[in-house]
Structures are given as C-alpha cells and as structure tokens.
Amino acid sequence: MIVGVPTREQDLAELLERKGVLERKGVRATPRRLEVLEELARESDDVTAQQLWGRLRERDSGAGLATVYRTLALLSEKGVVDVLSHHGGEQCYRLCGDAHHHHLLCEKCHRVVEVQECGLDEWVAAAAKQHGFVATEHRVEIVGLCADCR
C-alpha cells in the first residue's frame, strides 16, 4: 500500500489522524514514519523492530531497518509508543494512549492489553517512603491468561 494515496474515506481519516499524532509532538510526518505508525496501528499486540520491518517489506515498503529503529526510538521518546522488555534481550513496541497506564500480558498468546485505571499512586508513594525514596515513576506488568487462553 502506498501511504499518501488513501482509497477510502476511512483511510484518509486515519492518515490525517496519524499525521496529527506526529505533528502535535513536533515531529515531521514523513511517509516512512506514517508507514511505521500505520503498521503499529494494525497490530493490537506488541511487535519487535525486526518484525515490524519484516511486515513493512511484505507490503513492499522500502523502509530500511535503521529507519524502523530510528522511528521507534523517536516515537517512544515522544510517548507515542510503549517499550516493553518482557522478551529477553529483544524490545517490543506498542502504540499506546497518552495517559499513564500499565499492561496486562497473556503468557500464552502474548496479547497485550492496557490497564487505564492505575490508582496505585498512594501505594507507590507509601512503599517508596518506607525506604526513604521519593517515587517519580513506576511500571507495573501483570502476566496471566487472557479470556481466550484460559
């Protein structure tokens, strides 16, 4: 698929939305970056940089691996994607919402779901205080079985 030449109204809307995502963060909305965003949007779970690159190639994108890494680093820096390191060594990327959130991981099918309601700030602050720390951020990962894999 050629980015920039949407064939349906919905595609056009999605394209504009993705452009907006980038521009709001002060990042140029280049064709390559839009391709990466589009591919991320297509995947509801998380993907590695290499997987993403492979999928882009299947779609006849000429994107280079380095560009995929650069783009993912940029997007994560801007808070557009989450980076998960639950696979040993290899990092996984996932399009995510702006707000603070955590993740549920299915240990069988590797589905990833965002948990929007955090509500742990108090607990975190208390646990930190108990050891003389002041908490600035926290990460929570819940691993389990999703509805389909139970």
d(CA 125, CA 135): 6
The CA R_g of the chain, rounded to the nearest whole Å, is 18
β-strand pairing of 47-48 with 112-115: unpaired
Q: Which stretch binds DNA (CB under 7 A): 39-47, 57-65, 116-124, 133-141?
A: 57-65
48 binds DNA (CB under 7 A): yes
What is the distance of C-alpha 76 from the center of its chain?
8
Figure out which of the listed residues 62, 130, 131, 148 binds DNA, where binding follows CB under 7 A.
Answer: 62
d(CA 100, CA 46): 17
29 binds DNA (CB under 7 A): yes
State the residue for tokens 């050891």.
131
Please identify, using beta-carbon distances, which residue of 88 and 119 lies nearer to DNA: 88
The distance of closest approach from Cβ of residue 16 to its own copies in the complex, given in angstroms and rounded to an integer, is: 30
The distance of closest approach from Cβ of residue 10 to its own copies in the complex, given in angstroms and rounded to an integer, is: 27
The one of DNA, its own copies, none whose footprint includes residue 57, by CB under 5 to 8 A per kind, is none
88 binds DNA (CB under 7 A): yes
The one of its own copies, DNA, none whose footprint includes residue 124, by CB under 5 to 8 A per kind, is its own copies
Edge to edge, the sheet with strand 81-84 lists 47-48, 92-95, 81-84
d(CA 145, CA 150): 6
Tokens of 22: 């980038």
The distance of closest approach from Cβ of residue 91 to DNA in the complex, given in angstroms and rounded to an integer, is: 4
Figure out which of the listed residues 6, 55, 65, 135 binds DNA, where binding follows CB under 7 A.
Answer: 65
* Contacts with DNA, residue ranges (CB under 7 A): 27-33, 48-50, 62-67, 69-71, 73, 88-91
